[in-house]
Amino acid sequence: MNASQTLGINAAIGKQWSKHHGAKIPNNELMHWVGDPKVYSTKGFAKDTPDAEKIICWMIAEGTDRDGHPRSGFMGDMVLALGDYRNLTERQWSAVVRSFHRAEERAEAGRERNKNRHLLGAIGEIIEVPVKLISRKATQNAFGGTFLHVFNDLSVEENVIKCWSTARDLVDLDIGQSALLRGKVTKHSEWNGCPETIVNRPKLIK
């Protein structure tokens, strides 16, 4: 596969990739050998499946990390199978298709929720919001390691608040646990159609 073909594949996968990683899929060795989703969609395992090319693009985006390397787990294994064997078994493909449709259902449910969500506070305002911790992820910044904390407020809309912090009170909060969060609004943004309020100097009020 030449460079022009590889770039074409990257463009085909780009929309799916950006949903997961917020960037275009890299033009690297993985994408060079994994193959063209359009070609795979005409093969026996996929040719009778509606939206087969879209599903394969989604699978590659789901199964690779920001650097284009296969993730551990089922989708990463399927990416490796395409690269190594240029094929999937009927059982493997059925599992991929089921996962795709479940993801689409979750995405549609998310879009419905996002219609009613809104941003909190004004830029520079200090807000106090009852929240529930949804997720926590270790990340890197200019000062070393930190944690991205993602909250929903306790309103019906479940508005999203994010902050980065290594503060002990936040790190000790369990996923699913509720608390009163105080922070200064520094940014209003959107991620995959979801309005997000970013705060700094976060603190849990006892």
Q: Are residues 71 and 47 in the same domain?
A: yes
| Tally of CB atoms within 10 A around 67 | 9
Q: Are residues 135 and 109 in the same domain?
A: no
Q: Which two tokens stand for residue 5?
A: 């073909």
Q: 143 pLDDT exceeds 90?
A: no
Q: Are residues 80 and 19 in the same domain?
A: yes
Query: Residues of the chain with pLDDT > 90: what percent?
Result: 57
Q: Are residues 144 and 187 in the same domain?
A: yes
Q: Are residues 145 and 66 in the same domain?
A: no
- 189 pLDDT tier (thresholds 50, 70, 90): very high
Please give the tally of structural domains in the chain. Answer: 2
Tell me the torsion sign for CA atoms 73, 77, 78, 83: positive
Q: Are residues 94 and 175 in the same domain?
A: no
C-alpha to C-alpha distance for 147 and 160, rounded to whole angstroms: 16
| Tally of CB atoms within 10 A around 16 | 20
C-alpha to C-alpha distance for 142 and 145, rounded to whole angstroms: 8
What would the pLDDT profile of 28-48 be if each residue is shown by its tens digit?
555 566 778 888 999 999 999
Tell me the torsion sign for CA atoms 86, 88, 89, 90: negative
**Which domain range does residue 63 map to?**
3-114
- Model pLDDT, residue 140: 80
Whether residue 43 is contained in a domain is answered as yes
- Model pLDDT, residue 30: 53
Average pLDDT over residues 96-123: 91
* pLDDT mean across residues, the chain: 84
Whether residue 40 is contained in a domain is answered as yes
Whether residue 121 is contained in a domain is answered as no
Instruction: Select from 114, 142, 176 the last residue of a domain.
Output: 114
Instruction: Select from 114, 141, 169 the last residue of a domain.
Output: 114
Whether residue 16 is contained in a domain is answered as yes
Beta bridge mates, 185: 199
Instruction: Select from 67, 82, 114 the last residue of a domain.
Output: 114
- 193 pLDDT tier (thresholds 50, 70, 90): confident
Q: Are residues 8 and 100 in the same domain?
A: yes
Whether residue 120 is contained in a domain is answered as no
- Chain-centroid distance, C-alpha 127: 27
- Model pLDDT, residue 8: 45
| Tally of CB atoms within 10 A around 125 | 11
- Model pLDDT, residue 9: 45
Q: Are residues 87 and 178 in the same domain?
A: no
Q: Are residues 94 and 14 in the same domain?
A: yes
9, 13, 17, 28, 86 from 4: Cα distances, Å: 9, 15, 19, 13, 20
Q: Are residues 86 and 152 in the same domain?
A: no
The whole-model pTM stands at 0.57
* Backbone dihedral angles phi then psi of residue 43, each to the nearest 5 degrees: -75, 165
Q: 24 pLDDT exceeds 80?
A: no
Q: Which two tokens stand for residue 113?
A: 């929720």
Q: Are residues 151 and 106 in the same domain?
A: no
Q: Are residues 142 and 195 in the same domain?
A: yes
Given a contact cutoff of 8 angstroms between Cβ atoms, the answer to whether 87 and 93 are in contact is no
